[in-house]
Amino acid sequence: MQKERKLIIAGNWKMNKTVAEAVDLVNDLKLSLAPIKEVDIVVCPPYTALSEVSKAMIQSNLRLGAQNMSEQNSGAFTGEIAAGMLKEFSVRYVILGHSERRQYQKESDELIAKKALAAHLASLKPIICVGELLAEREAGLMEQVLETQVRGSLAGLSKEQMEETILAYEPVWAIGTGRTATAAQAQEAHAFIRGLLVKMFDENVARRVRIQYGGSVKGANARELMSQPDVDGALVGGASLEARSFADIIKNSI
Ligand code: PEP
């Protein structure tokens, strides 16, 4: 499949996997995904497994991401992890503003924007998640919600930083529910987000930014989703926890 932008497919393991399980999974992924060059492949284990997974990934085409980070660089912030600490394990990407963190940790767009700036200052590429709730979609508020989240979460980024930022459109009603957005729904939301990037930055930036779709992506629906012109990859939860299902998504996307 010829795409304008290189696909980026990331697995968000959330609060799953012991260190040993994480290393096993990455070793299996290394074997099955070794020949693939067409997709940027990222795995995001829990913090506790970053060190060993990072070692297991050396000389592979897999890249390491974290699931969150602090907006602070250091200091008295109990339980937090700074960008510089992630860099020690060769982490290159960091998921910010996942809907679970927006919901359970009450993360605001303002906080996410601060984290995004801190990530860029440490040369980490943020994967910034946005997406509407089912009630918001049904009330016809999807565009309004996305505009607020996109403008708020990207506030203060330069054009150069924006080009190194990945967005993930994750309709909350599709996350972990088995209910995937149709390819047309995903394309509509992605095109809307790209249009916002034109207004906020410019055409060139908007053309370069990769926008992932997230929400019950599996091998069976990956091809149709990835074939949409404005869908540039996937952020995968459940199906990234097993090598076979994650590899299927990647293989079916190219
Ligand atoms: C996610 O949590 O980002 C996600 C998309 O989960 P799932 O693939 O399980 O819907």
pLDDT attached to residue 85:
98
- pLDDT at position 2 is 72
pTM comes to: 0.97
Which of 42, 217, 218, 231 to mutate for ligand 1's pocket (most ligand atoms within 8 Å of CB)?
217
Q: Is the CB of 65 under 6 A from ligand 1?
A: no
pLDDT along the chain (254 residues), means of 10: 90 98 98 95 98 97 98 98 98 98 98 98 98 95 98 98 98 90 96 98 98 96 97 98 98 96
SS (H, E, C) 69-136: CCCCCCCCCCCCCCHHHHHCCCCCEEEECCHHHHHHCCCCHHHHHHHHHHHHHCCCEEEEEECCCHHH
Looking at residue 3, what is its pLDDT?
83
Task: Give the per-residue pLDDT at 232.
Answer: 98
Nearest CA to ligand 1 atom 7: 237
> Does residue 211 sit in helix, strand or coil?
strand
pLDDT value of position 25: 98
Supply the pLDDT for residue 239.
97
* Structure confidence at residue 178 (pLDDT): 85
Q: Which domains occur in the chain, in start order?
A: 7-251 (3.20.20.70)
- Ligand 1 contacts CB of residue 99 (under 6 A): no
- Dist. CA 14 → ligand 1 center (Å): 9
Catalogue the active-site residues.
Answer: 98, 170
Structure tokens at 92: 């290159």
